[in-house]
């Protein structure tokens, strides 16, 4: 049996109850009955399913009642990378990069969408919608196409990277360019769900979070269930931070691990309401006017605030910020290592460096930094950094124009 429980007042609802929020306004979360299998048996079971989706491999902990009729690409099974230049830049010794950009639509959102669309189909939704800075909408579009459902996305006009906008159009999403920021899009999407009867698949939807938990399960499995000391994650709307906390608590409660890694959530300095609250001991929730080059996390009023607070508290976690300049420098190092990521993703590596410099993460700790989105999501940011930024960043890779002459090639190769 699985059920939905309000995180604020503990009221319970049936798993298939289509409401988005509790009567009291609190956000819902799923509780699954603990499997009768021991932690060791579950580890062996998950290990025997290495070939399937990196989400549904963990179905007992994601959506045990889903059966085989799931809307899957498949997704997940993303690599855990070690890149010496990135490790050195961060001042770490044991840094691993969980590259969620290797998902089918290029971001971690696919893990939540496979569960979201599977559930949308179970409850007979006729259309799905989300507010998005781009990635959620792209994943929604691809999975709605798989499920044969129409999709609608509310995105902030002028603040969606071109790779993502291109995906929205290509996958056939009805794309509303809202003259406002992401927070306005989110409010509008919620209001329309009530009035238009569309099923909202933002990360306030508890089924999305169940899928996103598998980033953590997969990291743990890739490390043979030896938890790292830290998991560092970029933080915007706080869906991932919340999902990571839930995943870790469940992995411990279900006997998969005994020690909890600490979560570090990293925000862009100009869009850091969660970090503001953290510094005050979470006594109050903040809303800010968001400003950052990392358009994915340009969010001033994160929806999953409450449950992310719990995730930080439960894992003895921290919240920090990084200026855009550091984030772009980290991105350039990750890109030049051949890994590549979009700007928001690099917040995890820039945040790791900051926390090591401050002595919060010890230099010898095993750290997993999550890269949330693919390099190709945001081509403009790369062109700007390498070709247009003044003063030229030290690692800018300027293209060199030449005539079709061997002499020109020789001249270029002779200069460093
Ligand atoms: N990184 C990327 C690449 C994202 O797209 C997002 C969120 C985040 C980090 C932050 O994750 O919201 O769970 O804290 N993107 C959402 C979207 C808002 O609409 O695509 P979070």
Give me the pLDDT at residue 67, please. Answer: 86
β-pair type (94-99, 366-371): parallel
Rounded to whole angstroms, the Cα distance separating 376 from 382 reads 9
C-alpha span between 70 and 78 (Å, rounded): 20
Residue closest to 111 by CA, chosen among 122, 100, 121, 120: 100
Which among 315, 63, 342, 368 has a CA at the least distance from the CA of 214?
63
- pLDDT band, residue 372 (cuts 50/70/90): very high
Residue-wise pLDDT tens digits, 285-299: 999 999 999 999 999
- Predicted confidence at residue 51, as pLDDT, reads 66
Rounded to an integer, the average pLDDT of 68-97 is: 97
For ligand 1, atom 7, the nearest C-alpha belongs to 296
Q: What are the backbone dihedrals phi and psi of residue 177, each rounded to the nearest 5 degrees, phi first?
A: -85, 100
Tokens of 196: 């238009």
User: Are the C-beta atoms of 352 and 92 separated by less than 8 Å?
Assistant: yes
CA of 296 to the centre of ligand 1 (A): 5
Atom 6 of ligand 1: nearest residue by CA position: 296
Cα–Cα distance between 394 and 332 in angstroms, integer? 10
pLDDT (mean) for 16-38? 92
Q: Answer yes or no: are the C-beta atoms of 342 and 381 closer than 8 Å.
A: yes
The answer to whether residues 94 and 185 touch, using CB atoms and an 8 Å cutoff, is no
Cβ–Cβ under 8 Å, residues 54 and 318: no
pLDDT of residue 69: 85
Condensed to tens digits (0 to 9), the pLDDT of residues 180-222 reads 999 999 999 999 887 888 999 998 999 999 999 999 999 999 9
Q: Of all helices (H) and strands (E), which one includes residue 52?
A: none
Predicted local distance difference test score (pLDDT) of residue 18? 87
On the CB side of 343, how many CA atoms lie within 13 Å of its CA? 29
Query: So what's the pLDDT on residue 52?
Result: 81
In sequence order, the β-bridge partners of residue 285 are: none
Give yes or no for residue 71 having a pLDDT over 80. Answer: yes
CA of 298 to the centre of ligand 1 (A): 9
Tell me the pLDDT of the chain averaged across its residues.
96
State if residue 103 touches ligand 1 by the CB under 6 angstroms criterion: no
- DSSP-assigned states of every residue in 290-358: ---S-GGG--SS-TTHHHHHHHHHHTT-EEEEE-HHHHHHHHHHHHHTT----GGGGHHHHHHHHHHHT
140 Cβ inside 6 Å of ligand 1: no
For the chain, the helix, strand and coil percentages under 3-state DSSP, each to the nearest 5: 45, 15, 40
State pTM to two decimals. 0.95
Site of tokens 């799905």: 128
Residue 83 Cα to ligand 1 midpoint, Å, equals 24
> Do 108 and 215 meet the contact criterion of CB atoms below 8 Å apart?
yes
Q: CB–CB of 2/64 below 8 Å?
A: yes
Give the position of tokens 């005539």. 403
How far, in Å, is the centroid of ligand 1 from the Cα of 99?
14
What pLDDT sits at residue 194?
A: 77
Q: Which two tokens stand for residue 187?
A: 């409010």
What confidence category does residue 101 fall into, taking pLDDT thresholds of 50, 70 and 90? very high
pLDDT digits (tens, 9 = 90+) for 158-176: 999 999 999 999 999 999 9
How large is the average pLDDT for residues 396-409?
95
User: Looking at residue 101, what DSSP letter applies?
Assistant: G
153 C-beta closer than 6 A to ligand 1: no
CA distance linking residue 246 with residue 32, whole number of Å: 12
With contact defined as beta carbons under 8 Å apart, do 18 and 77 qualify?
A: no
Ligand 1 atom having least distance to the Cα of 299: 18
Cβ 368 vs Cβ 219: under 8 Å:
yes
The residues facing 152 across adjacent strands are 129, 174
Asked whether 106 lines ligand 1 (CB < 6 A), one says no
Question: Which tokens sit at 178?
Answer: 């809202």
Work out the average pLDDT over 308-322: 98
Per-residue model confidence as pLDDT tens digits over 231-283:
999 999 999 999 999 999 999 999 999 999 999 999 999 999 999 999 999 99
75-85 burial string, b = 16+ CB within 10 Å, else e?
Answer: bbbbeebebee
Share of the chain above pLDDT 90, in %: 91
pLDDT at 87 over 80: yes
Question: Tell me, what's the pLDDT at 168?
Answer: 98
């Amino acid at each position: 049996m699985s059920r939905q429980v309000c995180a604020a007042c503990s009221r319970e609802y049936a798993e298939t109850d289509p409401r988005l929020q509790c009567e009291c306004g609190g956000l819902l979360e799923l509780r699954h009955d603990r499997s009768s299998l021991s932690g060791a048996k579950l580890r062996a079971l998950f290990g025997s399913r290495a070939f399937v989706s990196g989400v549904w491999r963990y179905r007992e902990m994601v959506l045990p009642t889903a059966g085989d009729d799931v809307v899957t690409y498949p997704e997940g099974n993303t690599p855990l990378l070690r890149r010496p230049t990135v490790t050195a830049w961060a001042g770490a010794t044991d840094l691993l990069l969980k590259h969620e950009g290797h998902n089918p639509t290029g971001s971690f959102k696919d893990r939540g969408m496979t569960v979201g669309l599977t559930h949308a189909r179970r409850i007979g939704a006729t259309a799905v919608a989300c507010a998005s800075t781009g990635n959620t909408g792209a994943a929604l579009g691809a999975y709605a196409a798989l499920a044969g459902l129409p999709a609608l996305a509310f995105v902030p006009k002028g603040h969606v990277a071109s790779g993502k906008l291109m995906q929205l159009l290509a996958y056939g999403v009805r794309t509303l360019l809202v003259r406002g920021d992401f927070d306005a899009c989110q409010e509008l999407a919620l209001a329309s769900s009530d009035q238009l009867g569309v099923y909202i698949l933002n990360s306030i939807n508890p089924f999305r979070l169940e899928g996103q938990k598998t980033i953590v399960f997969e990291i743990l499995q890739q490390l043979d269930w030896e938890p790292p000391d830290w998991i560092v994650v970029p933080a915007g709307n706080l869906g991932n931070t919340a999902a990571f906390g839930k995943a870790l608590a469940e992995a411990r409660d279900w006997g998969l691990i005994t020690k909890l890694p600490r979560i570090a959530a990293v925000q862009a300095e100009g869009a850091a309401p969660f970090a503001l609250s953290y510094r005050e001991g979470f006594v109050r929730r903040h809303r800010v006017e968001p400003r950052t080059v990392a358009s994915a996390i340009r969010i001033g009023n994160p929806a999953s605030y409450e449950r992310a607070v719990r995730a930080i508290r439960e894992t003895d976690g921290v919240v920090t910020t990084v200026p855009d300049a550091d984030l772009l420098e980290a991105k350039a190092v990750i890109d030049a290592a051949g890994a590549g990521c979009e700007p928001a993703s690099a917040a995890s590596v820039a945040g790791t460096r900051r926390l090591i410099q401050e002595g919060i993460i010890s230099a010898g700790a095993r750290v997993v930094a999550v890269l949330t989105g693919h390099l190709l999501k945001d081509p403009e940011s790369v062109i700007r950094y390498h070709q247009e930024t003044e003063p030229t960043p030290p690692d800018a890779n300027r293209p060199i124009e030449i005539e079709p002459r061997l002499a020109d090639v020789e001249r270029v190769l002779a200069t460093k």
